[in-house]
Structure 1
Amino acid sequence: MASDKQNQSAPAPATVGELRKTGHVQRDIRDEIRHNLLEALKAGNDPWGGIVGFEDTVVPQLERALLAGHDVVLLGERGQGKTRLLRTLPVLLDEWTPVIAGSELDEHPYAPILPESIRRAGELGDDLPIEWRHRSERYSEKLATPDTSVADLVGDIDPMKVAEGRSLGDPETIHFGLIPRAHRGIIVINELPDLAERIQVSMLNVMEERDIQVRGYNLRLPLDVLVMASANPEDYTNRGRIITPLKDRFGAEIRTHYPLELDDEVAVIEQEADLVATVPSYLTEILARFTRYLRDHPSIDQRSGVSARFSIAGAETVAAAALHRATLTGEDLAVARPVDLQPVIEVLRGKIEFESGEEGREIEILEYLLRKAEADTVRAHLGGVDMRPLVDRLTAGDSVLTGDRVPAADVLNALGDDPAVTAVSDEIADRLDAGDDAERAAALELALEGLFLARRIGKEPDEQGRTVYSLPPDDED
């Protein structure tokens, strides 16, 4: 948003009189969003850029809620993209909007609400100066915490203004909180149930009567604000809850979800992960399958959920392992290989909540589900490839050594230049779109891992902790 603002110039009118001559029409926040959303839909434009997996479920519900002018609470487990979705809302605001210059609450020049602004408008008339606010400045977020106060959200007496000589009964001694400062914009309260119940009560007037009252002042400000919130359904009974009167005031309650399709899960990882090395798409797919298996496994606490951030962090960890190896071995290209998946378990196990009674089995469960994800990915991409030349080569006594410090060239050279092995390696590389040697080594390693999981070859660590693919011990003589 900031870069968008820097690249655009604000409109020219600088006074109310100049603004009126342009034919500018005032719209409240709900009409503004409704108008811009309908225009986007008519033009076939997607206002929800970067939102994956909600196209047929959450997004249509949200669009209907916005068209109805409703405040909305999004309910869903952690890492489902609630905040990401809410942060796309500013695109539905007008790019620039006029405000009274110097106003604390960014009032519209046609509709001042503060006593000082009303006085200035009466005195200056068409000469009332205006400023322009970019849509990026009309979106506010507050992470709800137990120590959030009424003053933070609504406002309180400003002792500095009192010290300047104003009386305590003067409305201009008020320091406004986040909600009134979001006047003519969008305010998002993340993790709403974490707000103490007495603080939630302070929002009731905003949600229903669209005004605020501060410490008994006879001041009622008609606010024009769209209130959005996010919450974890379990928070209703665990850390806190949304009080019934406040919950009733949200016009729409929309349930979010994790990606329903594997392709969407992969797309989220590829979109969000900040990778420092090349991660082949099939490794991303393994991480996506792994995450989905975690979400279905009875040993995992599904009330806590398995965040999309788990798979995203997993991809970043895999990429970091590849960069680490390339640096130590002097390779020009850092390309992740299946051996780089093991650190995901070691590094990210703390992001998973296990059911009680599973103490001591965490690593075992994670390794089993990762192997299952690997096996499914091998079947999906290499099903039908005749792997016998690889098995035969290992039967002849060869072995393939890999690990976090084994360069790609060593993996490729381990099986020699047998034409049959070269032919199957070429087919594997073609199936997995592997071009250079680093990518071909990763593809070969995936094939070997698939053979191991199918119990056609063995896999053992050597004394240095590296991985050795060879003939199963029972077949060696």
Structure 2
Amino acid sequence: MKAEIRENLLARLRSGEPRFPGIVGFDDTVLPHLERALLAGHDLVLLGERGQGKTRLIRTVTGLLDEWTPIVAGCEINDHPYAPACVRCRRLAESMGDDLPIAWKHRSERYGEKLATPDTSVGDLIGDVDPIKIAEGRTLGDPETVHYGLVPRTNRGVFSVNELPDLAERIQVALLNVLEERDIQVRGYNLRLPLDILLIASANPEDYTNRGRIITPLKDRFGAEVRTHYPLDLAAELNLIKQEARLDWTELGADLPDHLIEVIARFTRLVRESTAVDSRSGVSARFSIAAAETAAASAVRRAALTGEDHPVTRVCDLPAAVHTLRGKVEFEVSEEGREVEVLAHLLRRAIAETFRSTLGGMDLSAILDKFDEGVQVESGELVPAAELLRRIGPVTGLAKIMARLGMGAGDESPGHAAAALEFALEGLYLMRRLSKDDVEGTSVYRT
């Protein structure tokens, strides 16, 4: 099975085909180490903080298996027709010869996974005596009375143990033979069952060193340890949000403009770097994904309440993420009670950085002239786009602002125009060119 993965991986490397589709930000760091481990035929551990895509990466390895593979029909452990391992299949092969019934298994079915929970037993992973089979008349010493666990049932496939350090040490011992001798032992049975399997485990560094640990003999049997990480640059963070965030799963799907995706990406990176946040726990990629979905949901809610035809997310929708996602971040003890304040400050910094990178240096005097005439503009999460545009009036150069923010020819709705203008207003406020009063969910921009 490992040779099968090796051949298919080499074929994709030579052809330039994607090896691990859907994996973002690991091309030059994690994936080369993973590919070397697979080419060497090593079982491995993926080590990284929460939300770094470890499970997603493990599941993509099955894409390197052959699309279809033959097995002995009805075999619980997917025996190869030419080399059956279990007692049942060996008996069938001896009695039926070339008439041995064959079934075909898709590569998506050659994957097994177990979350290491405290109640996991050796029987769950390896197997145990099946009392039903004994009640049917088989003797206790008959190997066919064994009920195979998850590992042997994934024979000739990829098996994953998520959060391996959380597995009790006495249960980890049961995996020693699987990794070295490639067989299993079930209670007192004289059973030697050679397994053809790739075992990949995931672990969090905090669990790995403190709350739990991988026992030394088991660590020694893994051929490779591969460290994962959060996206290293802003571009990878942006791609991750665009790929993973579900923004159109309702009938009234909201549009999330690129400049707001950039704000969320910068916000996530600032939270990770903040001294107020416990760096050991990490800030999951799920934080940025959920932030994008929450902001879009705020726009959908506004459209439902005000009757807007097509909801477009605006700056006023971003603070909703601060209140709903604070539970995803572990703060330092000294910051207890200031969680919302810290996140709100970091969000303002992210908006300011995005404003400088997109509209910085652009002539926005047409907007400032409106306020020099005494105009005050009230906005908020329940102010429709058309009403916001009416309150500020015609703005010279609005098309250039929208173009600078990445809004193309198809983004000419009132919602997009309002999103661009409100972002410009918020940026001017953060650059101290305008003032703003926040009262009960509404913002009033003025000179």
Report the TM range for the smaller structure's normalisation.
over 0.9
Partner of 2:62: 90
Residue 75 of structure 1: CA displacement? Answer: 0.3
Inter-partner Cα distance in structure 1 for 2:399 and 2:134: 80
Check whether the contact 2:317–2:381 (CA below 8 A) recurs between aligned residues.
yes
Inter-partner Cα distance in structure 2 for 1:410 and 1:131: 64
Residue 388 of structure 1: CA displacement? Answer: 2.4
Residue 185 of structure 2 is aligned to residue 218 of structure 1: no
Residue 111 of structure 2 is aligned to residue 139 of structure 1: yes
Partner of 1:332: 309
Amino acid in the other structure paired with 1:278: D
Residue 364 of structure 2 is aligned to residue 387 of structure 1: yes
Q: 2:246 aligns to what SS in structure 1?
A: coil
Partner of 2:144: 172
Structure 2 matches for 1:336-415, cutoff 5 A?
Answer: 336-415=313-392
Cα deviation digits, residues 165-221 of structure 1 (max 9, x gap): 111111111000001111111101111111000000000000110000100211110
Structure 1: gaps (5+ residues): 1-28, 472-477
Cα deviation digits, residues 66-87 of structure 1 (max 9, x gap): 0000001100000001111111
- For the aligned residue pairs, the C-alpha RMSD in angstroms reads 1.0
Residue 257 of structure 2 is aligned to residue 280 of structure 1: yes
Partner of 1:431: 404
Which of the residues 229, 243, 250 maps onto 2:215?
243
Residue 120 of structure 2 is aligned to residue 148 of structure 1: yes
Residue 397 of structure 1: CA displacement? Answer: 1.3
Residue 416 of structure 1: CA displacement? Answer: 2.2
Inter-partner Cα distance in structure 1 for 2:438 and 2:275: 30
Inter-partner Cα distance in structure 2 for 1:89 and 1:236: 23
Inter-partner Cα distance in structure 1 for 2:201 and 2:25: 20
Check whether the contact 1:385–1:427 (CA below 8 A) recurs between aligned residues.
no
Q: 1:222 aligns to what SS in structure 2?
A: coil
Inter-partner Cα distance in structure 2 for 1:416 and 1:388: 14
Residue 367 of structure 1: CA displacement? Answer: 1.0
Which of the residues 142, 147, 157 maps onto 1:185?
157
Residue 470 of structure 1: CA displacement? Answer: 0.9
Structure 2 matches for 1:116-135, cutoff 5 A?
Answer: 116-135=88-107
Q: 2:333 aligns to what SS in structure 1?
A: coil
Q: 1:260 aligns to what SS in structure 2?
A: coil
Residue 415 of structure 1: CA displacement? Answer: 2.3
Inter-partner Cα distance in structure 1 for 2:132 and 2:3: 37
Check whether the contact 1:301–1:353 (CA below 8 A) recurs between aligned residues.
yes
Q: 1:141 aligns to what SS in structure 2?
A: strand
Partner of 1:322: 299
Partner of 1:12: none
Check whether the contact 2:120–2:167 (CA below 8 A) recurs between aligned residues.
yes
Amino acid in the other structure paired with 1:33: I
Which of the residues 438, 443, 447 maps onto 1:467?
443
Amino acid in the other structure paired with 1:380: S
Amino acid in the other structure paired with 1:267: N
Structure 2: gaps (5+ residues): 248-252
Check whether the contact 2:259–2:406 (CA below 8 A) recurs between aligned residues.
no
Count of matched residue pairs: 438
Residue 238 of structure 1: CA displacement? Answer: 3.3
Structure 2 matches for 1:74-113, cutoff 5 A?
Answer: 74-113=46-85
TM-score, with structure 1 as normaliser = 0.90
Amino acid in the other structure paired with 2:144: E
Amino acid in the other structure paired with 2:275: P
Cα deviation digits, residues 124-172 of structure 1 (max 9, x gap): 1111111111111101111110110000000000000010111111111
Cα deviation digits, residues 321-372 of structure 1 (max 9, x gap): 0000011111111100000000000110111000111112211111111111
Q: 1:151 aligns to what SS in structure 2?
A: helix
Q: 2:325 aligns to what SS in structure 1?
A: helix
Inter-partner Cα distance in structure 1 for 2:415 and 2:421: 10
Inter-partner Cα distance in structure 1 for 2:209 and 2:38: 28
Q: 1:50 aligns to what SS in structure 2?
A: coil
Check whether the contact 1:76–1:255 (CA below 8 A) recurs between aligned residues.
yes
Check whether the contact 2:256–2:312 (CA below 8 A) recurs between aligned residues.
yes
Residue 430 of structure 1: CA displacement? Answer: 1.9
Partner of 2:44: 72
Aligned sequence identity (%): 62
Which of the residues 159, 171, 175 maps onto 1:199?
171
Partner of 1:443: 420
Check whether the contact 1:300–1:355 (CA below 8 A) recurs between aligned residues.
yes
Residue 460 of structure 1: CA displacement? Answer: 0.9
Amino acid in the other structure paired with 2:172: Q
Residue 425 of structure 1: CA displacement? Answer: 2.2
Q: 1:80 aligns to what SS in structure 2?
A: coil
Amino acid in the other structure paired with 1:326: A
Inter-partner Cα distance in structure 1 for 2:53 and 2:209: 22
Residue 185 of structure 2 is aligned to residue 208 of structure 1: no
Q: 1:147 aligns to what SS in structure 2?
A: coil
Check whether the contact 2:378–2:442 (CA below 8 A) recurs between aligned residues.
yes
Inter-partner Cα distance in structure 2 for 1:368 and 1:214: 57
Q: 2:318 aligns to what SS in structure 1?
A: helix
Partner of 2:429: 452
Inter-partner Cα distance in structure 2 for 1:55 and 1:318: 30
Inter-partner Cα distance in structure 2 for 1:115 and 1:430: 70
Inter-partner Cα distance in structure 1 for 2:108 and 2:333: 45
Cα deviation digits, residues 303-324 of structure 1 (max 9, x gap): 1000000000000001100000
Which of the residues 228, 234, 258 maps onto 2:230?
258
Q: 2:279 aligns to what SS in structure 1?
A: coil
Inter-partner Cα distance in structure 1 for 2:71 and 2:365: 74
Check whether the contact 2:381–2:441 (CA below 8 A) recurs between aligned residues.
no
Inter-partner Cα distance in structure 2 for 1:92 and 1:207: 21
- Stretches (4+) displaced over 6 A: none
Inter-partner Cα distance in structure 1 for 2:340 and 2:102: 62
Check whether the contact 2:48–2:203 (CA below 8 A) recurs between aligned residues.
yes
Check whether the contact 2:185–2:191 (CA below 8 A) recurs between aligned residues.
yes
